[in-house]
Structure formats: structure tokens, C-alpha cells
Amino acid sequence: MTRYERVPAPDGGEFDAYLALPGSGRGPGVLVFQEIFGINDNIRGICDRLAGEGYVALAPDMFWRLEPRFERKDESALAECMGMVQRLDFAAAVGDITAAFAHLRAMPESTGKVGAIGFCLGGTLTWLCATTARVDGAGIDAAVPYYGSGIHDMLDRADDLECPTLFHYGDRDPFIPQEQIEKVEAAAGGKPQVEVRHYDAGHAFSNWDAPSMYDEKAATEAWGHTTSFLAEHLK
């Protein structure tokens, strides 16, 4: 059961969000934050897999202010997608993240608890969600950033990380050097219920739609840790 939701933006307008519902029609919510390729088959597939695990999965269109429904398939469009990231207004994105969080939590299909998961750019957006998005004074209940490429530049927000968090990193990631991962570990790794997992893989190892990046072994292992983590903190 899938559809697109319309989410009111905090400063006017509306944006789309892909929704996948579990067979029961109801469950804990999970926000799914896109890679630089937009809400594409890979991200919709992540939502569908989460729905299969019993979650109400919502993927907000984070590029809607630049080009609504922007979608590219894989690494062949890397330069164009990097250009989109460079134009992204992260301050406005925080408002959109909070709006998506509020929308998901208020949906009748949601049981109330909400987690977040994101990949690459989405890993950074997941960090922003965990450290900044608050609805009625409450933040999300769990966060899973996959290889968030901008987190090391946002560690001034580490004191605001209040929810259980599971970080995934590839140790051969050409876009996230080891020293950047070490900064994240130093700032957040010592917090209660925070884990940092490493894999013998490169960047975007979970993206099955990007053949030069996908690493099935690492992706399978990380997904197992992710589903166990979400079940522990959301169900």
C-alpha cells in the first residue's frame, strides 16, 4: 500500500512525500531521507522494505524547493546531483524535516513513535532531524544515519542528540575520510545508546541501484543491524 502524501511546509506551500504502509495498515513511523539522487527507486524500495517490517515509512522530497520530484537513477548523474546538494538551503530543510516529522506522527496510521533513517545526504538530514526536529517539545525516538557526508561539519549539534542512534560507515569511503568518522565517534560515540558500525566497503554501499557503489555483503549486514535497532526502539 503506497501513495504520495502532501505535507504543508512551515513557510507556505506543500511538498510531496512517498508513503509505504504495512499490511496491517498501522505501525510506528520511520522518516526516510533521500540520497542526492532524490526519491528514486532505491529510496522507494527502502520505504517498501520498512513497510514489510511493519513500519509506516515516509520519504519527504527534500529537493522540492529546487525541483519538485527531482529523481535520478544512479551514479551516472552524480555531477548533476552534487549540484543540487550545493544549492540546498539547509536552514529551510530543517523546517521541512520538522514538518514531515509532525505530519507522520499525526497520521492515523502511525502509532506515535517515529524514527529516521537516511543515506549519504540523507544521513546528514537524519542527523539534523535527530538534533533539531522537535514537535511539542519531543524529538524522534531513534536515528540511523548511513554514511552521512556532512555530519562532521555539524558536530556543534552533538549535545542535542537525545535519541538512540546507529551510525553506519564504510571504511573505504572516498567521500568520508577516516578522520571525519573519528570526529563523529569522538563527539557522539560515547553517548548512551549510540553505536558506530564500520564495514569493509565504500560510499553508498547500500544503494542497489548504483552498481559501482553497491556492496551486497555490507548492505545486508547493515540492514540486519538497522532492523534490529529500529525494532528495539520503536516497537
Please provide the CATH number assigned to the domain covering 2-234. 3.40.50.1820
The x, y and z cell numbers of residue 133, run together, are 526536529
Residue 124 has φ and ψ, to the nearest 5°, of: -65, -40
pLDDT at 74: 84
Q: Are 14 and 8 in contact (CB under 8 A)?
A: yes
Q: Are 10 and 100 in contact (CB under 8 A)?
A: no
The x, y and z cell numbers of residue 208, run together, are 542497489
pTM exceeds 0.95, yes or no:
yes
Catalytic residue of the set 103, 152, 203, 233: 203
**First-to-last CA distance in the chain?**
20
| DSSP 8-state class, residue 98 | H
Q: Does the active-site annotation cover 173? A: yes
Where are the alpha helices (H) located in the chain, listed in sequence order? 41-52, 78-87, 90-106, 121-132, 178-188, 216-234
Give the span between the Cα atoms of 226 and 6, in whole angstroms: 27
Question: Per-residue b/e over 97-110, b at no fewer than 16 CB within 10 Å?
Answer: bbbbbbbbbebebb
Tens-digit pLDDT profile for the chain (235 aa)? 999 999 999 999 999 999 999 999 999 999 999 999 999 999 999 999 999 999 999 999 999 999 999 999 888 899 999 999 999 999 999 999 999 999 999 999 999 899 999 999 999 999 999 999 999 999 999 999 999 999 999 999 999 999 999 999 999 999 999 999 999 999 998 899 999 999 999 999 999 999 999 999 999 999 999 999 999 999 9
Give the span between the Cα atoms of 214 and 130, in whole angstroms: 26
Catalytic residue of the set 47, 81, 120, 163: 120
